[in-house]
Amino acid sequence: MCIRERTLSHQAITQEPKQITNTENKIQEAFLAAKLESIAGHYEKAFKILDSLSREHRNRSTIYYEIATLHLEQKNYTAAMEKLDKALALENNNFWYLEKMAMVQTELKALDKAIDCYLSMISLKPKSSKYYDEAADLYLLSNKHNEAIVLLQKKEAQNGFSESNSTKIFDVAMDIQQYDVAAGEIEKFLQKKQPKLQHLKMGVHLYKKTGNSQRVKELQEKIFALDPNDVEVMLDKMEKENGKIDETSFLISLTKANASSLLLISGSVTISISGVPALL
């Protein structure tokens, strides 16, 4: 290569970054101008600026994203979706485009498409817990409880145990009578040295459903040790074999447990439980 050719080649290389910088500056200036117009409420002018920019730079995904954002300010979700489609066609793994599209599809009630967006986001950022929850909630709205459970289990495998996540799995499993799954979750709490009262009661509820009377008894004893005045446990203790309550025996038992909470009024019995009177 001659000296002149090398010089021209060098000039082309050194000029190219400047051209890119100038283009980017013009695009950013246009974004700012459109934003200022939208803040002032001049949406027609804002759209005109961005539409002109999109015709000049058809392969710039950020332009379509900005137009979509402008449509969202006006709650025009269909138009926003169309622009986001164009942005994602150019950058299909852009996390922020996917997040915006998930929101738009949710607003349009296209829950399956919104879920797909969240799943793509999870694959890009598997440690981002909130997106598992967003997708799981949409699964539940779509009556896809099994898919919700699987996703929440995946969240735990990826991010570790959390009380809220395990409780959510338990609740969903109970709703669809997957008692083995529910048991797996509640036992994580019950095996702790000092289980919480609420978890003991959740366990009682589950094991009554499954007919595990021995486990129910064990948990009720722990509940009674924590709260001797627990009415539900006391009622269970006073149940007859036919399932009816011996009210006289129950009242006597309750009176002994907390005599100050029992008031006799004109022959009626009022029991105050947690400060709230209930007439029997």
Q: pLDDT value at position 180?
A: 98
| pLDDT at residue number 278 | 46
The token duo for 53 is 């920019």
Higher pLDDT, 205 or 280: 205
Is a pLDDT exceeding 90 seen at residue 162? yes
pLDDT tens, residue by residue, 123-157: 999 999 999 999 999 999 999 999 999 999 999 99
Q: What is the dihedral of CA 168, 173, 175, 177, to 10 degrees?
A: -160
Q: Residue 24: in which H helix or E strand, if any? A: helix 3-39
pLDDT tens per residue across span 48-76? 999 999 999 999 999 999 999 999 999 99
The chain-wide mean pLDDT, for the chain, equals: 83
Angle value at C-alpha 213, between 209 and 217, nearest 5 degrees: 115
What pTM was computed for the model?
A: 0.75
Backbone angles phi, psi at 55, to 5 degrees: -70, -30
